[in-house]
Amino acid sequence: MSDTKTTSKPWEHAKSSGSETDPLAARFVSSIDYDWRLYKQDIRGSIAHATMLEQVGLITAGDLEAIEAGLRAIESEIDERGRGWPGFTYELEDIHMCVEAALIERVGEPGRKLHTGRSRNDQVALDLMLWVRDAIEERVTPLLDALTDGLVALAERDGAIVMPSYTHLQRAQPIVVGGELFAWHEAFVRAGQRVAQVGVDMYHSPLGSGAVAGTSLPLNRDMTAEALDFPLNASSSIDATANRDAAVDFVYALSMTAMTLSRWAEQWIIYASTEFGFIKLDDAYTTGSSMMPQKQNPDMLELIRGKCGAVYGSLVALLTTLKGLPIAYNRDLQEDKKHVFRAFDDVCDCLEMAAKIVAGTTFQKERIASTLDRGYLDATSLADYLVTKGVPFRTAHQVVGRLVQVSEERGLGALGKLSLEQFRAESELVEADVFDWLGAENVVKRYQSDGNAGLSGFVSLLEWVRSEGAAEGEALEWDDMVSGLRNLADQMEAEHASKPKGAD
């Protein structure tokens, strides 16, 4: 077996003593507490690398077999033990060294060949990209899908209830509950597309970039890129090991998701208040007060609103870590994963919680209806009515303003309570059909512009998301976009290949 292993760190032989001489230094420099979460991606990358090493003749078929079997065994052990796997030690610093050391321990000499033509610098850049891609596919996207499905289900139950809309948090125009639920649906669908796009945008495999300058060994980078599903190789070994763009894009996309969650949570906190009483939350998602016996606080919603702060914090922390770094790898980059994981964990928790809250919420039809007369929600509809009679909109606006005043002066409180004579005193064009344009219930039936928040807009959105065809159409559009991007990548690759040799 090996005759070169002199310290616990196989790469520390150049110095007479390594950081293991000071336990604080060993712990300080270590990232295993958090980067152990990369183990699956690390092992996948290593198997692709070893497979390529065998193909180009740098290791034997027997070496590859031993390496692959060893790595798979290590993976199942970590699957079982998680952070408690005994191979995770501070002395070995990080996931890459812990796995490699365990491999050498297990299979001996072939394990010592795995790191041929590779550095932890290209290895960690790769692992993080693979992890982000998996996180998107396996967690964030399904959770966002579950939330948007939940909003649709709630819209199917309560969507036709008439409610006021608010701008400036002041009563604006009547809408239906479904109209507002589809606003959130739209925002979360967009958040999902933004997140998914981060995965699509990862074109360039960093593997084969080595520590900074590449390698003089005959690696076949195309082979590893293809095995790991990258359309291209990174064209600068320095940039490939220096950049964390994918991580920043991911945390930005998570921040936008957290921001949307936070706005939604705030809206529902307001709706759940005694003053509004528009929604009733499931008791499972409220908590009592330790002092006030009557309280039912929307703590889960408040925490969704609040956790957004830490997600933004992760984005700013990551960007700030990157700021001012000299080009190529610097150890500062090790901190990146903390921020990525933290943002991911918080957003996933919030998405999971949000879907449950949505499933347990009911809109309070009677309570909402009892308030619809307030705030002249139908004033804009009345102005539209006058427009249909030939009144210029600006004039109609003034006429309605006066009618609101009349209603207030007479203490009526609603335009629908004015008499036809009172209307005609302000505009002779008003006829008895004006009453069909007044009252929230009537108004929500009249909207006809595409995407309106009234009944027709809500119903057509519901039909659209329900219909198989729409779902397919949407998937198709998305697939088209992805394959378009892939084509673009192929084109770039062709151009790249025609560049003079050594250009990458």
The residues assigned a catalytic role are 168, 289
| Stretch of 18-26, 325-333, 416-424, 427-435 contacting ligand ARG, by CB under 6 A | 325-333
The answer to the question of residue 94 lying near ligand ARG (CB under 6 A) is yes
Tokens of residue 220, six digits: 């076949």
Give the chain's largest Cα–Cα span: 106
**CB 119, min distance to ligand ARG, A:** 7
CB 240 within 8 A of CB 246: no
Nearer to ligand ARG among residue 248 and residue 383 (C-beta):
248
The answer to the question of residue 262 lying near ligand ARG (CB under 6 A) is no
Nearer to ligand ARG among residue 193 and residue 215 (C-beta):
215
**CB 43, min distance to ligand ARG, A:** 16
**CB 236, min distance to ligand ARG, A:** 18
Nearer to ligand ARG among residue 133 and residue 305 (C-beta):
133
Nearer to ligand ARG among residue 121 and residue 255 (C-beta):
121
The answer to the question of residue 333 lying near ligand ARG (CB under 6 A) is yes
Nearer to ligand ARG among residue 327 and residue 488 (C-beta):
327
The answer to the question of residue 364 lying near ligand ARG (CB under 6 A) is no
Cα angle, residue 213 at apex, residues 211 and 216 outer, rounded to 5°: 100
**Which residues ranging from 112 to 171 are in contact with ligand ARG (CB under 6 A)?**
120-121, 124
**CB 75, min distance to ligand ARG, A:** 19
DSSP state of 139: I
DSSP annotation string for 149-196: HHHHHHHHHHTT-EEEEEETTEEEEEEEHHHHHHHHHHHHHHHHHHHH
**CB 106, min distance to ligand ARG, A:** 22
Nearer to ligand ARG among residue 155 and residue 333 (C-beta):
333
Whole-number Å distance between alpha carbons of 341 and 37? 9
The answer to the question of residue 351 lying near ligand ARG (CB under 6 A) is no
**CB 31, min distance to ligand ARG, A:** 5
The answer to the question of residue 355 lying near ligand ARG (CB under 6 A) is no
Bridge partners, 232 (sequence order): 204
Tokens of residue 50, six digits: 């070893």
The answer to the question of residue 334 lying near ligand ARG (CB under 6 A) is yes
| Residue found under tokens 């159409």 | 473
Whole-number Å distance between alpha carbons of 239 and 216? 18
Please name which of 456, 466, 463, 481 lies closest in space to residue 160, comparing C-alpha atoms: 456
Amino acid code (one letter) for 93 = E
Amino acid code (one letter) for 411 = G
Please name which of 71, 82, 77 lies closest in space to residue 37, comparing C-alpha atoms: 82
Q: Which residues contact ligand ARG (rule: CB under 6 A)?
A: 31, 35, 94, 120-121, 124, 329, 331, 333-334
